Amino acid sequence: MNEEKLGRLEPVFYPKSIAVIGASPDERKYGSGYLHALVLSGYQGGIYAVNRVSGTCHGVHIYPSLNSIPNPVDFVIVAVPVASVLEVLDDCAAKGVKVVQFFTAGFRETGSEAGRSLETEMAKRAQQGGFRIIGPNCIGVYNPAVKIPYGQMEMVGEAGSVAFISQSGGHGGRLIGIGLDRGIKFSKVVSFGNACDLDCVDYLEYLAVDPQTKLIGAYLEGIQRGKRFLELVRETVATKPLIVWKGGRTETGAEAAASHTGSLASSYAVWKAALEQAGALTVESLEEMVDTIIALEHMGASAGRRVAIVSGLTGGGGGDSVSSTDTFVSIGLEVPRFTSSTLSILETLLPSVGSILRNPLDIGSVGANLDTLRRTMDLVFADPGIDVVIVQQHIDMLLHSLSLEQVHAINDVFIETWQAQSKPLAVVSPAWAAVTEGLEVESKLQSNHIPVYRNLEGAARGIANTVRYNERLKASTIA
Amino acid sequence: MNEEKLGRLEPVFYPKSIAVIGASPDERKYGSGYLHALVLSGYQGGIYAVNRVSGTCHGVHIYPSLNSIPNPVDFVIVAVPVASVLEVLDDCAAKGVKVVQFFTAGFRETGSEAGRSLETEMAKRAQQGGFRIIGPNCIGVYNPAVKIPYGQMEMVGEAGSVAFISQSGGHGGRLIGIGLDRGIKFSKVVSFGNACDLDCVDYLEYLAVDPQTKLIGAYLEGIQRGKRFLELVRETVATKPLIVWKGGRTETGAEAAASHTGSLASSYAVWKAALEQAGALTVESLEEMVDTIIALEHMGASAGRRVAIVSGLTGGGGGDSVSSTDTFVSIGLEVPRFTSSTLSILETLLPSVGSILRNPLDIGSVGANLDTLRRTMDLVFADPGIDVVIVQQHIDMLLHSLSLEQVHAINDVFIETWQAQSKPLAVVSPAWAAVTEGLEVESKLQSNHIPVYRNLEGAARGIANTVRYNERLKASTIA
């Protein structure tokens, strides 16, 4: 059963050869950009260029037609004007291609009847020709495990276990870009635009059983085959979390979606309720998608509602204690009191003046004393009333009073004390862009699987969503 | 009247000489840090160190007592343990000091009766001695115009017209730090902690009439003299906007505030309603404070509700069009249709495939064509149904397909077309930390008075708050 589902989209994500129709001696053309990225990415399959204009494109020989390529072609990327698409599909059928992806736009999203019926015809020819279509009006597939780059972005990150399906090519690219920055590693990404053939149900069916994928995000403008999609959400979330960001949640936004991917959005409130009821986590921005992916990936099943906050590593943590509490509590998390045993040991560790001996814990300027910091972190992790620990770290401030080595040493304490126990830890570290050394510290935390957030709101909403998923899963397992 | 108000706090913000009690030959001490920052900042007044331990501190001679300083001292910074504070105050009275600021903590915020009555006694001695107290438990004053640094942060930014009063020293420092990064320039900042003498009313009375201050932000945990404060808010907002971030808006947050500055917070809902009714803009995080300051400062009275959005400078703007609309509309702004005249000219400028000819305008890959971009921007600015223009710029993506020079040239078009007319423009430019060239582009926009936001949410809430202020002001002027 799973084998059959995986086999169906195997050539979408693991093509053995790729041809770009529209790659041209003019290297500024979109098709040429796709080819260039494939050449640079390290993709090991066959790479072919097709164009009526002969010559080479980024060092690759240009064939005059698909048919003249001497070897089999699994996957075709099409970047030619809309007028030629039916002809291209006939060539693909003749060649025995398995998947055709259209970067080409100008279909249903233009609002014209001609665009709509052209898509219907394309889907028909795909069925007759025994191949599948991704798009049109999309960027296509990203699969870091086999070095398939995302559109013209030649940089392929490390492979991981997060999948993302997106009706917007731009949002797909932005998520990949943020992922490189914030430590999200992808199993597969696909931008599928107007979805004239393969739609969100097809992609989700595959990813739900894909052993490389542990967590799925989706940006959807219209949802195709709604009833089946909701069933599938229910099946999927039993084994992996699914986060859905629905574009067009306002009326004016829905009009924009119609012009973007020809999607007819029904009421957002109805969709949101249906998706949440089926077990998906709904989010409302790219940032919330990122925050939630990071929390789910790093904290997973061990995240709970009761948060301890440690701030003020080198002073100035009082205001942070107040605002972090406001932020976490107002999103529905708890910042409970420490147990009396924790408190009494804290009193022996930290001075009563200049620190605040409660949760949030403002440890004051003793934060730079590594031994005190280590014992404090151990104690906070061990408190039985705490599920998750948050450290608020202002790297710019730390680097003002400490050396980079000292800041690294402090962060090593976070890593080591976290590794010695089982509760999740997240670090909130704004890292103002000007402080590049801060990024080094951040990336060491990330590579040790400790999530880093740039602001409290992000951490709070990521954790709150993760807790919501966990609580729901527990309730359904009990039921 | 204004002269009297300004005169009252003149020595708080413009002291002619400053002594640091607690500056020591041990340069790691807090007092030494204060002195060091004063020495480095370029402050032109007298700088004195006082300590029982003789020697020098950062090259400054240490006097054994205040009284032994041969010259007058206007302002004293106190960084000695709480046990010595009354003695220090007597010395200050004897010396004829005008202002005493206590970094020292361990008063009312400890929750003890002793702490509370010590503060009462301090206020009494200040009155008897003819001087004022800032704090205790605070960082104190920042005045870039006369190079007074903020606590131990020696870096003093350019002087500007934004004032900030903060019960949290940490939040004050963070705002100053973010300001350096995001182009906010300050007239005055004061962190005032427990406010045993000078309180939020005193500071606001001064700033309301301070000619250097055009906009005031406040972080408050407890609000002292509530009735007078609300009256003062009403007076202030008639001439300059006031943004209030109230800490302790949740019950648990209010408990944290009590441990931080000894503030007893009443119900947040009540305060929020009263502050808004008096004309203050209430915000709920440091980020929202920053976003609102930036919008108010740069857009001011010309910001209105009707927003045009331009995205997709080099492709991939379709998803952005949808999500930006959702973000702006759901916060209460409008993304109206362009007039038919604007639309008909757009059709001649931009291709119908690959761009979206409506508001939000996804200009597609023609964004790199400077002439088309210029004409498009002129057209959008000129549309009579539009009040504010937003450009969504993904610098990391732009720099992938264009050179830094080309990206600068695109941004020069934004600057020039904006300068040629009167509507506000904001650029939303996430600038992932990895792309340092992006920061150059950002800072050129900022130095040309075009606000830059790192995300849509920030731009939307900043603009929405500014519009709220403008609409309220207009209503009260008419009434």
**pLDDT tens-digit series, residues B299-340:** 988 899 999 999 988 777 889 999 999 999 999 999 999 999
Quote the minimal CA–CA distance from A133 to chain B in Å. Answer: 19
Predicted pLDDT of residue A476: 80
Confidence label for B31 from pLDDT (cuts 50, 70 and 90): very high
Mean pLDDT for chain A overall: 93
The pLDDT tens digits of the residues spanning B223-257 come to 889 999 999 999 999 999 999 999 999 988 888 88
Confidence label for A400 from pLDDT (cuts 50, 70 and 90): confident
Q: What is the largest CA-CA distance in chain A?
A: 81
Nearest-by-Cβ selection for A250 from B33, B330, B358: B330
Confidence label for B434 from pLDDT (cuts 50, 70 and 90): low
Quote the minimal CA–CA distance from B259 to chain A in Å. Answer: 7
Beta strands in A255-300 (DSSP E): 281-283
Predicted pLDDT of residue B395: 85
Nearest CA in chain B to A314: B170
Nearest CA in chain B to A456: B285
B335, A252: Cβ pair inside 8 Å? yes
ipTM of model:
0.91
Pairing of strands B186-191, B140-142: antiparallel
Nearest-by-Cβ selection for B319 from A247, A320, A360: A247
List, in sequence order, the alpha helices (H) in A55-130: 85-95, 113-129
d(CA A162, CA A242): 10
Predicted pLDDT of residue B432: 60
Q: Answer whether residue A370 shows pLDDT above 80.
A: yes
More confident residue, B232 or B438: B232
Secondary structure of residue B361 in the 3-state scheme: strand
A219, B180: Cβ pair inside 8 Å? no
Average pLDDT over residues A450-464: 94
Predicted pLDDT of residue B182: 86
Residues 6+ away with beta carbon under 8 Å from A340:
none
Predicted pLDDT of residue B433: 53
Predicted pLDDT of residue B476: 80
Range in A60-69, B33-42, B253-262, B408-417 the model is least confident about: B253-262
The amino acid at residue B55 is G
Chain B residues with beta carbon closer than 8 angstroms to that of A322? 168, 221, 247-248, 253, 256-257, 260
Predicted pLDDT of residue A167: 95
Q: In the Cβ-directed half-sphere of A472, how many Cα atoms lie within 13 Å?
A: 20
A168, B257: Cβ pair inside 8 Å? no
Residue A311 exposed, middle or buried by CB count within 10 Å (0-12, 13-18, 19+): buried
Quote the minimal CA–CA distance from B321 to chain A in Å. Answer: 6
Predicted pLDDT of residue A264: 67
Predicted pLDDT of residue A371: 95
Best mutation target among A168, A174, A324, A326 (most B Cβ atoms within 10 Å) is A326
Q: Between vectors from CA B139 to CA B133 and to CA B143, what angle results, nearest 5°?
A: 85
Q: Answer whether residue B479 shows pLDDT above 60.
A: no
Asked if residues A178 and A134 have their Cβ atoms less than 8 Å apart, the reply is: no
Predicted pLDDT of residue B161: 97
d(CA B365, CA A47): 26
Q: Between vectors from CA B459 to CA B457 and to CA B464, what angle results, nearest 5°?
A: 95
Average pLDDT over residues A257-282: 87
Asked if residues A460 and A327 have their Cβ atoms less than 8 Å apart, the reply is: yes
d(CA A342, CA A357): 10
Nearest-by-Cβ selection for A259 from B261, B356, B455: B356
B354, A286: Cβ pair inside 8 Å? no
Chain A residues with beta carbon closer than 8 angstroms to that of B457? 285, 287
Predicted pLDDT of residue B211: 97
Q: How many CB pairs under 8 A join A and B?
A: 219
Range in A327-331, A367-371, B202-206 the model is least confident about: A367-371
Average pLDDT over residues B256-276: 85
CB atoms within 10 A of CB A116: 17
Helix axis angle, B456-478 to B318-330, nearest 10°: 40
Predicted pLDDT of residue A260: 83
Confidence label for B52 from pLDDT (cuts 50, 70 and 90): very high
Q: Answer whether residue A408 shows pLDDT above 70.
A: yes
Percent of all residues in chain B with a pLDDT value above 70, rounded to a whole number? 98
Nearest-by-Cβ selection for B170 from A106, A139, A317: A317
Average pLDDT over residues A364-368: 75
A99-102: strand order across its sheet: A56-57, A60-63, A46-50, A17-21, A75-78, A99-102, A132-134
Nearest CA in chain B to A439: B433
Asked if residues A327 and B285 have their Cβ atoms less than 8 Å apart, the reply is: yes
Confidence label for A431 from pLDDT (cuts 50, 70 and 90): low
Average pLDDT over residues B78-104: 96
Nearest-by-Cβ selection for B432 from A178, A249, A396: A178
d(CA A382, CA B169): 31
Predicted pLDDT of residue B38: 97
Q: Estimate to the nearest angstrom the gap between the alpha carbon of B461 and the chain centroid.
A: 15
Give the DSSP H/E element, type plus range, for residue B54: none
DSSP result, B166-193? ES-HHHHHHHHHHHHHHT--EEEEEE-T
Predicted pLDDT of residue A433: 53
Nearest-by-Cβ selection for A319 from B180, B219, B312: B219
